[in-house]
Protein backbone atom coordinates (compact mmCIF):
# COMPACT_ATOMS: atom_id res chain seq x y z
CA UNK A 1 0.00 0.00 0.00
CA UNK A 2 1.29 3.48 -0.86
CA UNK A 3 2.02 5.97 1.91
CA UNK A 4 -1.13 7.41 3.44
CA UNK A 5 -2.03 10.99 2.49
CA UNK A 6 -1.43 13.59 5.16
CA UNK A 7 -3.36 16.36 3.40
CA UNK A 8 -6.24 16.66 0.98
CA UNK A 9 -3.79 17.60 -1.77
CA UNK A 10 -2.19 14.16 -1.48
CA UNK A 11 -5.48 12.30 -2.12
CA UNK A 12 -4.83 11.45 -5.75
CA UNK A 13 -6.88 9.32 -8.16
CA UNK A 14 -4.12 6.71 -8.13
CA UNK A 15 -4.11 6.52 -4.33
CA UNK A 16 -7.91 6.33 -4.16
CA UNK A 17 -7.97 3.53 -6.75
CA UNK A 18 -5.43 1.54 -4.76
CA UNK A 19 -7.10 2.13 -1.38
CA UNK A 20 -10.64 1.34 -2.51
CA UNK A 21 -9.60 -1.74 -4.50
CA UNK A 22 -8.78 -3.53 -1.23
CA UNK A 23 -12.51 -3.97 -0.62
CA UNK A 24 -13.90 -3.21 -4.06
CA UNK A 25 -11.79 -5.02 -6.66
CA UNK A 26 -11.60 -3.41 -10.08
CA UNK A 27 -12.45 0.12 -8.98
CA UNK A 28 -10.62 2.84 -10.89
CA UNK A 29 -10.75 6.57 -10.15
CA UNK A 30 -10.02 8.93 -13.04
CA UNK A 31 -10.10 12.24 -11.14
CA UNK A 32 -11.14 13.76 -7.83
CA UNK A 33 -12.57 17.17 -6.91
CA UNK A 34 -12.37 18.68 -3.42
CA UNK A 35 -15.79 20.18 -2.72
CA UNK A 36 -15.16 21.31 0.85
CA UNK A 37 -12.27 21.13 3.32
CA UNK A 38 -11.48 22.45 6.78
CA UNK A 39 -9.27 21.54 9.72
CA UNK A 40 -9.43 21.69 13.52
CA UNK A 41 -8.80 18.83 15.92
CA UNK A 42 -8.65 16.77 12.73
CA UNK A 43 -8.79 17.42 9.00
CA UNK A 44 -12.08 16.98 7.14
CA UNK A 45 -13.01 17.13 3.48
CA UNK A 46 -15.82 16.28 1.10
CA UNK A 47 -14.56 14.92 -2.20
CA UNK A 48 -16.25 13.97 -5.46
CA UNK A 49 -14.84 11.00 -7.35
CA UNK A 50 -15.03 10.53 -11.09
CA UNK A 51 -14.65 6.83 -11.85
CA UNK A 52 -13.35 4.99 -14.86
CA UNK A 53 -14.71 1.76 -13.33
CA UNK A 54 -17.23 1.93 -10.49
CA UNK A 55 -18.49 -1.28 -8.82
CA UNK A 56 -21.25 0.61 -6.98
CA UNK A 57 -19.38 3.15 -4.87
CA UNK A 58 -20.84 6.60 -4.12
CA UNK A 59 -19.70 9.66 -6.03
CA UNK A 60 -19.01 11.62 -2.84
CA UNK A 61 -16.93 10.57 0.16
CA UNK A 62 -16.32 12.28 3.49
CA UNK A 63 -12.64 12.20 4.44
CA UNK A 64 -10.99 12.40 7.86
CA UNK A 65 -7.22 12.87 8.07
CA UNK A 66 -4.62 14.65 10.24
CA UNK A 67 -5.02 18.34 11.10
CA UNK A 68 -3.03 20.89 9.10
CA UNK A 69 -1.35 22.49 12.13
CA UNK A 70 1.91 20.65 12.92
CA UNK A 71 1.61 21.12 16.68
CA UNK A 72 -1.95 19.84 16.71
CA UNK A 73 -0.94 16.97 14.46
CA UNK A 74 1.82 16.00 16.91
CA UNK A 75 -0.65 16.06 19.82
CA UNK A 76 -3.19 13.92 17.95
CA UNK A 77 -0.44 11.42 17.11
CA UNK A 78 0.83 11.35 20.70
CA UNK A 79 -2.58 10.51 22.16
CA UNK A 80 -3.43 8.15 19.28
CA UNK A 81 -6.73 9.74 18.28
CA UNK A 82 -6.58 9.17 14.53
CA UNK A 83 -4.96 5.77 14.85
CA UNK A 84 -7.64 4.66 17.31
CA UNK A 85 -10.55 5.89 15.21
CA UNK A 86 -9.17 4.32 12.03
CA UNK A 87 -8.88 0.99 13.82
CA UNK A 88 -12.43 1.33 15.11
CA UNK A 89 -13.79 1.76 11.59
CA UNK A 90 -11.59 -1.03 10.26
CA UNK A 91 -12.35 -3.61 12.95
CA UNK A 92 -15.44 -2.70 14.96
CA UNK A 93 -17.86 -0.33 13.24
CA UNK A 94 -19.63 -2.98 11.18
CA UNK A 95 -20.38 -5.19 14.20
CA UNK A 96 -21.67 -2.85 16.89
CA UNK A 97 -25.45 -2.41 17.47
CA UNK A 98 -25.58 1.35 16.88
CA UNK A 99 -25.60 3.45 13.72
CA UNK A 100 -22.22 4.65 12.44
CA UNK A 101 -21.19 6.02 9.05
CA UNK A 102 -20.35 3.38 6.44
CA UNK A 103 -16.59 3.17 5.98
CA UNK A 104 -14.95 2.40 2.63
CA UNK A 105 -11.32 2.58 3.80
CA UNK A 106 -9.54 3.28 7.08
CA UNK A 107 -5.89 2.98 8.03
CA UNK A 108 -3.05 4.64 9.92
CA UNK A 109 0.69 4.30 10.15
CA UNK A 110 2.42 2.94 13.27
CA UNK A 111 3.27 6.39 14.61
CA UNK A 112 -0.30 7.64 14.26
CA UNK A 113 0.72 10.88 12.55
CA UNK A 114 -0.75 9.65 9.27
CA UNK A 115 -4.29 8.31 9.17
CA UNK A 116 -7.23 8.50 6.84
CA UNK A 117 -10.85 7.38 6.78
CA UNK A 118 -13.06 7.38 3.70
CA UNK A 119 -16.63 7.52 4.97
CA UNK A 120 -20.05 7.91 3.44
CA UNK A 121 -21.48 11.38 3.02
CA UNK A 122 -24.35 11.10 5.50
CA UNK A 123 -26.18 14.08 4.05
CA UNK A 124 -26.67 12.12 0.82
CA UNK A 125 -29.00 9.79 2.79
CA UNK A 126 -30.91 12.68 4.37
CA UNK A 127 -29.38 12.07 7.80
CA UNK A 128 -29.95 15.05 10.08
CA UNK A 129 -27.61 16.76 12.53
CA UNK A 130 -27.82 18.93 15.63
CA UNK A 131 -31.00 17.08 16.53
CA UNK A 132 -30.67 17.66 20.26
CA UNK A 133 -30.56 21.43 19.80
CA UNK A 134 -32.86 21.83 16.80
CA UNK A 135 -35.37 18.98 17.21
CA UNK A 136 -35.10 18.39 20.94
CA UNK A 137 -37.40 16.02 22.80
CA UNK A 138 -37.18 13.62 25.69
CA UNK A 139 -38.02 10.82 23.26
CA UNK A 140 -34.82 11.65 21.39
CA UNK A 141 -32.85 11.59 24.66
CA UNK A 142 -34.28 8.16 25.46
CA UNK A 143 -33.36 6.94 21.97
CA UNK A 144 -29.73 7.94 22.57
CA UNK A 145 -29.75 6.25 25.99
CA UNK A 146 -31.23 3.10 24.43
CA UNK A 147 -28.41 3.11 21.85
CA UNK A 148 -25.88 3.46 24.68
CA UNK A 149 -27.47 0.52 26.46
CA UNK A 150 -27.22 -1.74 23.38
CA UNK A 151 -23.58 -0.89 22.88
CA UNK A 152 -22.61 -1.07 26.55
CA UNK A 153 -24.41 -4.37 27.09
CA UNK A 154 -22.67 -5.95 24.11
CA UNK A 155 -19.22 -5.26 25.60
CA UNK A 156 -20.08 -5.42 29.32
CA UNK A 157 -17.02 -6.79 31.14
CA UNK A 158 -16.15 -8.53 27.87
CA UNK A 159 -13.35 -11.14 27.74
CA UNK A 160 -12.52 -9.61 24.36
CA UNK A 161 -10.72 -6.80 26.19
CA UNK A 162 -8.03 -9.39 26.92
CA UNK A 163 -8.08 -10.76 23.38
CA UNK A 164 -8.91 -9.08 20.06
CA UNK A 165 -9.95 -5.82 21.76
CA UNK A 166 -6.85 -5.47 23.93
CA UNK A 167 -6.05 -2.34 21.91
CA UNK A 168 -9.11 -0.65 23.46
CA UNK A 169 -7.48 0.83 26.54
CA UNK A 170 -8.77 2.64 29.65
CA UNK A 171 -9.12 6.41 29.25
CA UNK A 172 -5.78 8.14 28.86
CA UNK A 173 -4.36 10.60 31.34
CA UNK A 174 -2.26 13.18 29.52
CA UNK A 175 -0.34 15.78 31.56
CA UNK A 176 -1.49 18.53 29.19
CA UNK A 177 -5.02 18.16 30.62
CA UNK A 178 -4.35 19.84 33.99
CA UNK A 179 -2.26 22.50 32.22
CA UNK A 180 -5.15 23.41 29.92
CA UNK A 181 -7.68 23.41 32.78
CA UNK A 182 -5.41 25.78 34.71
CA UNK A 183 -5.22 28.01 31.64
CA UNK A 184 -9.02 27.99 31.38
CA UNK A 185 -9.42 28.94 35.05
CA UNK A 186 -6.85 31.71 34.74
CA UNK A 187 -8.49 33.13 31.61
CA UNK A 188 -12.18 32.69 32.37
CA UNK A 189 -12.54 32.13 36.12
CA UNK A 190 -13.49 35.71 36.90
CA UNK A 191 -16.42 35.62 34.46
CA UNK A 192 -17.70 32.17 35.49
CA UNK A 193 -19.70 31.01 38.53
CA UNK A 194 -17.63 30.01 41.56
CA UNK A 195 -18.04 26.28 40.84
CA UNK A 196 -15.95 26.70 37.67
CA UNK A 197 -12.83 27.75 39.55
CA UNK A 198 -13.53 25.37 42.44
CA UNK A 199 -13.61 22.29 40.23
CA UNK A 200 -10.79 23.57 38.04
CA UNK A 201 -8.39 24.04 40.95
CA UNK A 202 -9.43 20.75 42.52
CA UNK A 203 -8.82 18.90 39.26
CA UNK A 204 -5.40 20.51 38.72
CA UNK A 205 -4.40 19.46 42.25
CA UNK A 206 -5.90 15.94 42.14
CA UNK A 207 -5.88 15.04 38.43
CA UNK A 208 -4.15 11.65 38.65
CA UNK A 209 -6.43 10.46 41.46
CA UNK A 210 -9.56 11.66 39.67
CA UNK A 211 -8.55 9.82 36.50
CA UNK A 212 -8.17 6.73 38.67
CA UNK A 213 -11.78 7.09 39.79
CA UNK A 214 -12.88 7.40 36.15
CA UNK A 215 -11.42 3.95 35.47
CA UNK A 216 -13.51 2.24 38.17
CA UNK A 217 -16.60 0.14 37.49
CA UNK A 218 -17.47 -2.68 35.12
CA UNK A 219 -15.56 -2.02 31.90
CA UNK A 220 -17.39 -1.69 28.62
CA UNK A 221 -16.80 -0.05 25.25
CA UNK A 222 -17.56 3.66 25.53
CA UNK A 223 -17.56 6.34 22.85
CA UNK A 224 -16.23 8.95 25.26
CA UNK A 225 -17.23 12.10 23.37
CA UNK A 226 -21.01 12.08 22.87
CA UNK A 227 -22.26 15.63 22.46
CA UNK A 228 -24.69 17.10 19.98
CA UNK A 229 -21.97 17.69 17.39
CA UNK A 230 -21.05 13.99 17.37
CA UNK A 231 -24.62 12.75 16.95
CA UNK A 232 -26.81 12.39 13.89
CA UNK A 233 -30.17 10.83 13.13
CA UNK A 234 -30.09 7.96 10.64
CA UNK A 235 -33.49 7.46 8.96
CA UNK A 236 -32.42 4.03 7.67
CA UNK A 237 -31.35 2.52 11.00
CA UNK A 238 -33.75 -0.08 12.37
CA UNK A 239 -37.48 0.12 11.73
CA UNK A 240 -38.03 3.85 12.27
CA UNK A 241 -34.51 5.26 12.26
CA UNK A 242 -32.33 6.09 15.25
CA UNK A 243 -29.40 8.15 16.53
CA UNK A 244 -25.96 7.52 15.09
CA UNK A 245 -22.55 8.24 16.59
CA UNK A 246 -19.68 10.12 14.92
CA UNK A 247 -16.03 10.74 15.86
CA UNK A 248 -14.80 7.64 17.68
CA UNK A 249 -11.30 8.96 18.39
CA UNK A 250 -11.76 8.83 22.18
CA UNK A 251 -13.28 5.36 22.50
CA UNK A 252 -12.03 3.44 25.51
CA UNK A 253 -12.99 0.76 28.00
CA UNK A 254 -14.35 2.04 31.28
CA UNK A 255 -17.62 2.59 33.15
CA UNK A 256 -20.74 3.08 31.04
CA UNK A 257 -21.35 6.24 33.04
CA UNK A 258 -18.66 8.00 31.01
CA UNK A 259 -21.05 8.13 28.04
CA UNK A 260 -24.25 8.61 30.05
CA UNK A 261 -22.95 11.46 32.20
CA UNK A 262 -21.31 13.13 29.21
CA UNK A 263 -24.56 13.16 27.24
CA UNK A 264 -27.00 14.00 30.03
CA UNK A 265 -24.81 16.77 31.48
CA UNK A 266 -23.59 18.33 28.25
CA UNK A 267 -26.53 17.97 25.86
CA UNK A 268 -29.82 17.66 27.77
CA UNK A 269 -31.28 21.00 28.82
CA UNK A 270 -30.70 21.89 32.48
CA UNK A 271 -34.47 22.01 33.08
CA UNK A 272 -35.07 18.51 31.71
CA UNK A 273 -32.01 17.13 33.45
CA UNK A 274 -33.19 18.50 36.78
CA UNK A 275 -36.80 17.37 36.30
CA UNK A 276 -36.17 13.98 34.68
CA UNK A 277 -32.67 12.78 35.63
CA UNK A 278 -33.85 9.97 37.90
CA UNK A 279 -36.34 8.72 35.32
CA UNK A 280 -33.78 8.93 32.48
CA UNK A 281 -31.16 7.01 34.45
CA UNK A 282 -33.70 4.36 35.37
CA UNK A 283 -34.72 4.13 31.70
CA UNK A 284 -31.07 3.50 30.81
CA UNK A 285 -30.60 0.92 33.58
CA UNK A 286 -33.73 -0.95 32.50
CA UNK A 287 -32.52 -0.91 28.88
CA UNK A 288 -29.19 -2.38 30.01
CA UNK A 289 -31.01 -5.17 31.82
CA UNK A 290 -33.26 -5.81 28.82
CA UNK A 291 -30.11 -6.14 26.71
CA UNK A 292 -28.77 -8.87 28.99
CA UNK A 293 -26.80 -7.15 31.77
CA UNK A 294 -27.73 -8.70 35.12
CA UNK A 295 -27.13 -7.80 38.76
CA UNK A 296 -26.70 -4.08 38.16
CA UNK A 297 -25.30 -2.20 41.14
CA UNK A 298 -27.43 0.92 40.77
CA UNK A 299 -25.98 2.80 43.80
CA UNK A 300 -22.43 2.29 42.47
CA UNK A 301 -23.43 3.44 39.00
CA UNK A 302 -25.13 6.54 40.39
CA UNK A 303 -21.94 7.37 42.29
CA UNK A 304 -19.91 6.89 39.10
CA UNK A 305 -22.34 9.16 37.31
CA UNK A 306 -21.42 12.02 39.67
CA UNK A 307 -17.70 11.37 39.05
CA UNK A 308 -18.10 11.41 35.28
CA UNK A 309 -20.01 14.69 35.26
CA UNK A 310 -16.59 16.11 36.12
CA UNK A 311 -15.10 14.31 33.12
CA UNK A 312 -17.29 16.09 30.60
CA UNK A 313 -16.61 19.38 32.39
CA UNK A 314 -12.85 18.81 32.09
CA UNK A 315 -13.24 17.97 28.40
CA UNK A 316 -15.07 21.25 27.83
CA UNK A 317 -12.64 23.28 29.96
CA UNK A 318 -9.62 22.02 28.02
CA UNK A 319 -11.40 22.90 24.78
CA UNK A 320 -12.26 26.36 26.17
CA UNK A 321 -8.58 26.92 26.97
CA UNK A 322 -7.75 26.52 23.27
CA UNK A 323 -9.98 29.40 22.23
CA UNK A 324 -11.49 28.63 18.82
CA UNK A 325 -8.69 26.32 17.67
CA UNK A 326 -10.66 23.13 18.47
CA UNK A 327 -14.27 24.33 18.58
CA UNK A 328 -15.98 27.71 18.04
CA UNK A 329 -15.62 29.64 21.27
CA UNK A 330 -19.33 30.61 21.39
CA UNK A 331 -20.37 26.95 21.17
CA UNK A 332 -17.94 25.92 23.91
CA UNK A 333 -19.05 28.80 26.15
CA UNK A 334 -22.70 27.75 25.88
CA UNK A 335 -21.73 24.18 26.72
CA UNK A 336 -19.66 25.40 29.66
CA UNK A 337 -22.66 27.29 31.09
CA UNK A 338 -24.71 24.09 30.96
CA UNK A 339 -21.93 22.03 32.54
CA UNK A 340 -21.33 24.48 35.37
CA UNK A 341 -24.99 24.01 36.28
CA UNK A 342 -24.61 20.23 36.07
CA UNK A 343 -21.57 20.35 38.37
CA UNK A 344 -23.51 22.34 40.96
CA UNK A 345 -26.66 20.22 40.68
CA UNK A 346 -24.82 16.88 41.02
CA UNK A 347 -22.46 18.13 43.76
CA UNK A 348 -19.79 16.13 41.96
CA UNK A 349 -16.94 17.96 43.72
CA UNK A 350 -18.10 16.50 47.03
CA UNK A 351 -18.42 13.05 45.41
CA UNK A 352 -14.83 13.27 44.17
CA UNK A 353 -13.58 14.55 47.55
CA UNK A 354 -15.35 11.85 49.55
CA UNK A 355 -14.08 9.14 47.24
CA UNK A 356 -10.56 10.37 47.82
CA UNK A 357 -10.88 9.76 51.56
CA UNK A 358 -12.19 6.18 51.28
At 27-63, the pLDDT tens digits run 999 999 999 998 877 889 999 999 999 999 999 999 9
Question: Would you say residue 331 has pLDDT above 60?
Answer: yes
Closest CA to 219 of 164, 257, 248, 177: 257
For residue 235, the tally of other CB atoms under 10 A from its CB is: 13
Question: Would you say residue 148 has pLDDT above 50?
Answer: yes
Q: Where are the domains of the chain?
A: 8-122, 125-356
Give the pLDDT confidence score for residue 74 in this predicted structure.
Answer: 86
Give the pLDDT confidence score for residue 155 in this predicted structure.
Answer: 98
Q: In which band, very low, low, confident or very high, does the pLDDT at 230 lie, cut at 50, 70 and 90? A: very high
Segment among 28-32, 129-133, 330-334 with least mean pLDDT: 330-334
Average pLDDT, whole number, for the chain?
92
How many angstroms separate the CA atoms of 199 and 347, rounded? 10
Give the pLDDT confidence score for residue 298 in this predicted structure.
Answer: 96
Q: Do residues 266 and 249 lie in contact, with contact meaning Cβ atoms separated by under 8 Å?
A: no
Segment among 112-116, 200-204, 258-262, 333-337 with least mean pLDDT: 333-337
Give the pLDDT confidence score for residue 327 in this predicted structure.
Answer: 64
For residue 183, the tally of other CB atoms under 10 A from its CB is: 16
Question: Would you say residue 224 has pLDDT above 60?
Answer: yes
Which residues make beta-bridge pairs with 31? 50
3-state helix, strand, coil in the chain (%, to 5): 50, 15, 30
Question: Would you say residue 254 has pLDDT above 50?
Answer: yes
How many angstroms separate the CA atoms of 260 and 212, rounded? 18
Please give the full DSSP string across 5-30, using - where no structure is assigned.
PSSGGG--HHHHHHHHTTTSTT-EEE
Q: Do residues 107 and 5 lie in contact, with contact meaning Cβ atoms separated by under 8 Å?
A: no
Q: Quick one: what percent of the chain has pLDDT higher than 70? A: 97
Chain segment 188-208, per-residue pLDDT in tens: 999 999 999 999 999 999 999
Q: Do residues 292 and 151 lie in contact, with contact meaning Cβ atoms separated by under 8 Å?
A: no
Q: How many residues does the chain have?
A: 358
CATH code of 8-122, in short, is 3.30.200.20
Give the pLDDT confidence score for residue 182 in this predicted structure.
Answer: 95
Question: Would you say residue 356 has pLDDT above 70?
Answer: no
Closest CA to 151 of 304, 4, 284: 284
Question: Would you say residue 124 has pLDDT above 70?
Answer: yes
Question: Would you say residue 133 has pLDDT above 50?
Answer: yes
Which pTM value belongs to this model?
Answer: 0.93
Give the pLDDT confidence score for residue 333 in this predicted structure.
Answer: 78
Q: In which band, very low, low, confident or very high, does the pLDDT at 108 lie, cut at 50, 70 and 90? A: very high
Q: Domain 125-356 class? A: alpha beta
Q: Buried b / exposed e across 22-38, counting CB within 10 Å, b at 16+?
A: eebeebebeebeeeebe
Chain segment 301-319, per-residue pLDDT in tens: 999 999 999 999 998 898 8
Chain segment 149-176, per-residue pLDDT in tens: 999 999 999 999 999 999 999 998 888 8
Which residues make beta-bridge pairs with 222? 252
Amino acid sequence: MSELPISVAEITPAWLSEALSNRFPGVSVASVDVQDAHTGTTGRALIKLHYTVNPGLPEQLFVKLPPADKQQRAFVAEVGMGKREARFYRELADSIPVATPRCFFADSNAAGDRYIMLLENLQARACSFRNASEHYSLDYVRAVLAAFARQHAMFWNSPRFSADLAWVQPPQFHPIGPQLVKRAVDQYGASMPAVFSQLGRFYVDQAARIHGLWEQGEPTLVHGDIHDGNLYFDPDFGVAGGPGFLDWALLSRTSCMRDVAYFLSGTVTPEDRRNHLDDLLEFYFSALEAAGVSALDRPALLHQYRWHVAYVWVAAATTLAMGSEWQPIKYVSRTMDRLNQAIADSDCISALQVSGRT
